[in-house]
Amino acid sequence: MAEISFDDFLKVDIRLGTVLRAEPFPEARKPAIKLWIDFGPEIGEKKSSAQITVHYDPETLVGKQVMAVVNFPPRQIGPMRSEVLVLGVSDDNDAIVLIGPDQAAPNGTRMH
């Protein structure tokens, strides 16, 4: 495991957002869902593509709060420009489980 300094960690801007809209992303190479996430007034709404189809359906994601890295450069994924990296962990079968708070908090809140 590579070590990083605390200052390097602080450069990663991880924020809380609420999924406003979600839809299937059949054009992606691997099964994915397109997400539109509200990160509050400072950052606004951002798009993301997430390979989370094992545990989530688009209709169950609307209103869910998620954590995402908001300061990576955008990536072109098929016809979509993914602007943030939604965070998750792998379960026992390597399917992604999203990371989010266990209680509601304001959109745009930075992870401490």
Q: Which residues of 41-69 are buried (b: 16+ CB within 10 A; e: fewer)?
A: eebeebbbbbbbbeebebeebeeebbbbe
Strand (E) or helix (H) holding 20: strand 14-24
pLDDT at position 112 is 86
Mean pLDDT of 2-12: 93
Domains of the chain: 14-98 (2.40.50.140)
List pLDDT tens digits, range 14-73: 999 999 999 999 999 999 999 999 999 999 999 999 999 999 999 999 999 999 999 999
**In a 10 Å sphere around its CB, with 0-12 CB exposed, 13-18 middle and 19+ buried, how is residue 107 labelled?**
buried
pLDDT in tens, 72-99: 999 999 899 999 999 999 999 999 999 9
Q: What's the pLDDT at 60?
A: 96
Q: What is the pTM of this model?
A: 0.94
